[in-house]
C-alpha cells in the first residue's frame, strides 16, 4: 500500500517509444546533460543551439519528475516526436527545451523518489521550502536544491527565463495551470483531454516547481496529471492522443505569454 492508499499495480503496457534523436544535431541534443548521484545520464534536447535559445525564452517541458509515473515520460517523448516531425516539415514553432525523463534513477526503479530517496518536486529552492514532509514519498531532501536533477532545472530557468514550464505527471486526471499567464495554455490541454482545469493541485506543495517558478519567479507553470495505473490507464498508447491537440496548439503559439526579459 502506498502513501495514497493504493496497492501496487504493474506499469501500463506499451513501449516508451523514444523519438528519433537522429534528426537532431549535436548542438541541440545533450545525451548526458547532467549525471545523477549514481552517475546516470540525464538527457536534454532543444529547438536550437544554446546561444540561439538564450534570447528566445523557450518553453521548458519535462517528464519523469516522479519515477513511478511513466505516463509523463511517454507524453514528453511523444511531444518531442511531434516537435521534430513538425520542424522537419517546415513548421515554425515556439522555441523549446525538453527533458524526456528528469528522474532517470527513480524511473529505472519504478519509484517516486530519486536515487537518494528525495522527491524532486519538493526539493526546489522556493521561499516556502521546508524539511517537513508527510512521508518518505515526499522527502524534500536535506536542503533546498540539494539534488543534481533539481539543480539542473534551476540552472535552465536562470539561464533561459522560459516563457512557460510544463511538467508531465500522472495521478488523478487534471490540468493544473499555476499563474494567470498559464491559463490559456492550460485551457488548451484541458479542452483536448477533457480533464478538469485547476489553478492549484489542492493541497500544500512546499518546494514544488510551481511554488518556485510561479510564486517566486512569476514564470507560469502547467502540471499535467494524466490518468495513472490506479485510475484506469492500462496502455501508454492512450496518452498522446489525449493531449496531442493541446500540445500542438501550445507550441504553434509564438507569443511570449507576457514573459519579462
DSSP code, position 23: G
Facing residues of 251 across strands?
none
154-174 mean pLDDT: 97
Facing residues of 44 across strands?
30
pLDDT higher than threshold 90 for residue 37: yes
Tally: H helices and E strands in the chain: 7, 8
Q: State phi, psi for 186 to the nearest 5 degrees.
A: -65, -40
Taking all residues of the chain, what is their mean pLDDT, rounded to a whole number? 91
State pLDDT tens for residues 198-247: 999 989 999 999 999 999 999 999 999 999 888 878 899 999 999 999 99
pTM of the model: 0.91
> CA-based Rg of the chain, rounded to a whole angstrom?
17
Q: Are 78 and 17 in contact (CB under 8 A)?
A: yes
Facing residues of 222 across strands?
166, 177
**Exposed, middle or buried: residue 216 (CB in 10 Å: 0-12, 13-18, 19+)?**
middle
1 pLDDT band (50/70/90 cuts)?
very low
- Using CA atoms, how far apart are residues 102 and 170, in angstroms rounded to an integer? 15
What cell numbers appear for 167 in the block? 511538467
State pLDDT tens for residues 38-84: 999 999 999 999 888 989 999 999 999 999 999 999 999 999 999 99
Query: What number of other Cβ atoms are within 10 A of residue 20's Cβ?
Result: 11
User: What is the maximum span of the chain, computed from C-alpha positions, in angstroms?
Assistant: 49
pLDDT higher than threshold 90 for residue 114: yes
Residue among 117, 82, 125 at smallest CA distance from 249: 82
Helix (H) or strand (E) holding 175: strand 174-178
The proportion of the chain whose per-residue pLDDT surpasses 70, expressed as a percent, equals 89
Give the position of cell 524534500: 140
pLDDT higher than threshold 70 for residue 152: yes
pLDDT higher than threshold 60 for residue 249: yes
pLDDT higher than threshold 60 for residue 9: no
Q: What is the pLDDT of residue 6?
A: 47
Going along the chain from its start, the domains and CATH numbers come out as 49-252 (3.40.630.10)
Amino acid at each position: 500500500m502506498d502513501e495514497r492508499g493504493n496497492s501496487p499495480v504493474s506499469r501500463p503496457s506499451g513501449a516508451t517509444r523514444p523519438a528519433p534523436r537522429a534528426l537532431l544535431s549535436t548542438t541541440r541534443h545533450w545525451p548526458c546533460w547532467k549525471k545523477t548521484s549514481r552517475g546516470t545520464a540525464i538527457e536534454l534536447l532543444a529547438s536550437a543551439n544554446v546561444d540561439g535559445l538564450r534570447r528566445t525564452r523557450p518553453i521548458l517541458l519535462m517528464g519523469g519528475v516522479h519515477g513511478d509515473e511513466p505516463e509523463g515520460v511517454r507524453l514528453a517523448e511523444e511531444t518531442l516526436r511531434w516537435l521534430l516531425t513538425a520542424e522537419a516539415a517546415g513548421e515554425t514553432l515556439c522555441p523549446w527545451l525538453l527533458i524526456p525523463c528528469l528522474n532517470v534513477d527513480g524511473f529505472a526503479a519504478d519509484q517516486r523518489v530519486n536515487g537518494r530517496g528525495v522527491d524532486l518536486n519538493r526539493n526546489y529552492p522556493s521561499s516556502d521550502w521546508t524539511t517537513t514532509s508527510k512521508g518518505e514519498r515526499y522527502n524534500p531532501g536535506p536542503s533546498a536544491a540539494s539534488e543534481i536533477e533539481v539543480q539542473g532545472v534551476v540552472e535552465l530557468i536562470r539561464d533561459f527565463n522560459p516563457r512557460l514550464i510544463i511538467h508531465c505527471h500522472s495521478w488523478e486526471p487534471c490540468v493544473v495551470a499555476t499563474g494567470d499567464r498559464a491559463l490559456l495554455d492550460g485551457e488548451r490541454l484541458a479542452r483536448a483531454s477533457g480533464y478538469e482545469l485547476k489553478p492549484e493541485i489542492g493541497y500544500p506543495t512546499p518546494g514544488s516547481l510551481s511554488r518556485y517558478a510561479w510564486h517566486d519567479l512569476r514564470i507560469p507553470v502547467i502540471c499535467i496529471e494524466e490518468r495513472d495505473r490506479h485510475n484506469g490507464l492500462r496502455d501508454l498508447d492512450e496518452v498522446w492522443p489525449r493531449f496531442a491537440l493541446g500540445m500542438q496548439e501550445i507550441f504553434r503559439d509564438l507569443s511570449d505569454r507576457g514573459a519579462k526579459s
